[in-house]
């Protein structure tokens, strides 16, 4: 009998509505399992690990990503797959972070959750959880069909570091604008085999060290010199993600370029990603991005914001030099870049 480990972190899927206040609050995960008797129909052993104190995903922090990675690492040989129940708000951050932390992964790690609590009449929690378990346990010829960190939500399976939460109200909460879905759930599960990451066969390794000394700047018409100045002078700052316009375009004002140059001279990495969900940064395509190329700004290509942040945290936590980090930022480590 195969074994699946469900890791419960919190989130809407494990909440009930307080009768007095009407607010949602967490409840015991054992009660959640009682709401889904269909789990017993799986021909797998289902084990459960629950966070001691379930949290709203808005409170998720890097030390909890490490906790998740260590749970998976310690239980890796005992289980064929892992399902992480997680709030949807920061699910894409956690999925991206785990993809970089769990090096040489060859088993499914599927994150899922819901937009409505498990006890609600129209909840999406049951289908999301049951299908996530099925995906996590799907093997062929002894090999996992999805040997990577992925997000399952509302009939679609997304690569974790390619997904972003794009809707706060619809059941279709996530999208993957720059990469195909890995699988679709209908009457049967249809896997897009050619788009699924291929493991390298090496032993699982955890990358434990994440450097959080990162800032982000989302450009807008009217952004001030004082604001940019204050960002680049944050103590111990190691990197800045700049969300630019379109295909990587930014103001050409001399003060803006000079401040970026000052930051780069201080060994601060500047990573350029687009504010657009779809498409990629192409520095030098227009005059408004040529200057970024010349001064040493790194192109983030078609990375999601979540992947850019967590990839920087991971690379900055290694012993790589600044120039080496800049090189790896432009290469695909876990399928995060096309």
Packing angle, helices 254-265 and 225-232, rounded to 10: 0
The span from the CA of 113 to the CA of 126, in Å, is 9
Instruction: Measure Cα distances from 327 to 225, 244, 302, 330 in Å.
Output: 29, 20, 15, 6
Catalytic site positions: 12
Residue 338 is assigned to a structural domain of this protein: no
Q: What is the span of the domain harbouring residue 218?
A: 214-329
> Phi-psi region for residue 270, left (φ > 0), alpha (ψ -120 to 50) or beta?
beta
Burial 60-99 (b: 16+ CB within 10 A, else e): bebebbbebbebbeeebeebbbbbbbbbbbbbbbbbbbbb
Q: Quickly list DSSP for 233-263.
A: TSTT--EEEEEEBTTTB----HHHHHHHHHH
Residue 71 is assigned to a structural domain of this protein: yes
Q: Which of 186, 206, 226 is the last residue of a domain?
A: 206
Taking only the tens place, the pLDDT of each residue in 58-110 is 999 999 999 999 999 999 999 999 999 999 999 999 999 999 999 999 999 99
CATH number, domain at 312? 3.40.50.40
pTM listed for this prediction:
0.94
Q: Helix (H, G, I), strand (E, B), or coil: what is residue 41?
A: helix
Domain count, the chain: 2
Pair (121, 188) in one structural domain = yes
Residue 320 is assigned to a structural domain of this protein: yes
Are 82 and 122 in contact, with CB atoms under 8 Å apart? no
Compute how many other C-beta atoms are within 10 angstroms of the C-beta atom of residue 244.
Answer: 24
Q: Which of 144, 178, 206 is the last residue of a domain?
A: 206
Per-residue pLDDT of the chain (338 residues; tens, 9 = 90+): 689 999 999 887 777 666 677 776 666 666 656 767 787 777 678 888 888 888 889 999 999 999 999 999 999 999 999 999 999 999 999 999 999 999 999 999 999 988 887 767 777 888 899 999 999 999 999 999 999 999 999 999 999 999 999 998 888 889 999 999 999 999 899 999 999 999 999 999 999 999 999 999 999 999 999 999 999 999 999 999 999 999 999 999 999 999 999 999 999 999 999 999 999 999 888 877 899 999 999 999 999 999 999 999 999 999 999 999 999 999 999 999 99
Pair (189, 221) in one structural domain = no
Q: Quickly list DSSP for 169-216.
A: SSS--EE-TTS--SEEESSSEEE-GGGSPPP--PPPEE-------EEE
Pair (39, 173) in one structural domain = yes
């Amino acid at each position: 009998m195969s074994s699946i480990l469900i890791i419960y972190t919190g989130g809407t899927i494990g909440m009930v509505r307080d009768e007095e206040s009407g607010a949602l609050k967490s409840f015991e995960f054992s009660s959640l399992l009682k709401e889904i008797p269909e789990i017993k129909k799986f021909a797998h052993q289902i084990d459960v690990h629950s966070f001691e104190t379930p949290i709203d995903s808005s409170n998720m922090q890097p030390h909890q990503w490490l906790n998740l990675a260590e749970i998976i690492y310690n239980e890796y040989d005992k289980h064929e797959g892992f399902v992480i129940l997680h709030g949807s708000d920061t699910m894409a951050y956690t999925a991206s972070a785990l993809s970089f932390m769990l090096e040489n992964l060859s088993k499914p790690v599927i994150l899922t959750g819901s937009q409505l609590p498990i006890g609600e009449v129209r909840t999406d929690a049951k289908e999301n959880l049951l299908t996530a378990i099925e995906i996590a346990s799907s093997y062929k010829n002894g090999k996992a069909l999805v040997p990577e960190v992925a997000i399952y939500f509302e009939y679609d399976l997304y690569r974790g570091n390619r997904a972003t939460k794009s809707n706060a109200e619809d059941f279709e909460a996530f999208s993957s604008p720059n990469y195909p879905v890995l699988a679709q759930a209908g009457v049967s599960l249809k896997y897009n085999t050619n788009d699924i990451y291929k493991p390298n066969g090496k032993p699982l390794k955890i990358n434990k060290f994440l450097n959080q000394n990162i800032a982000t700047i989302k450009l807008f018409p009217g952004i001030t010199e004082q604001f940019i100045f204050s960002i680049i002078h944050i103590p111990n700052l190691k990197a800045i993600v700049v969300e630019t316009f379109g295909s990587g375009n930014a103001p050409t004002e001399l003060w803006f370029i000079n401040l970026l140059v000052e930051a780069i001279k201080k060994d601060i990495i500047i990573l350029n990603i687009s504010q657009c969900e779809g498409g990629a940064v192409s520095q030098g395509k227009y005059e408004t991005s040529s200057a970024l190329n010349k001064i040493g700004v790194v192109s983030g290509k078609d990375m999601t914001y979540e992947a850019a942040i967590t990839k920087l945290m991971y690379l900055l936590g290694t012993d790589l030099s600044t120039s080496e980090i800049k090189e790896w930022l432009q290469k695909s480590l876990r399928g995060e870049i096309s």
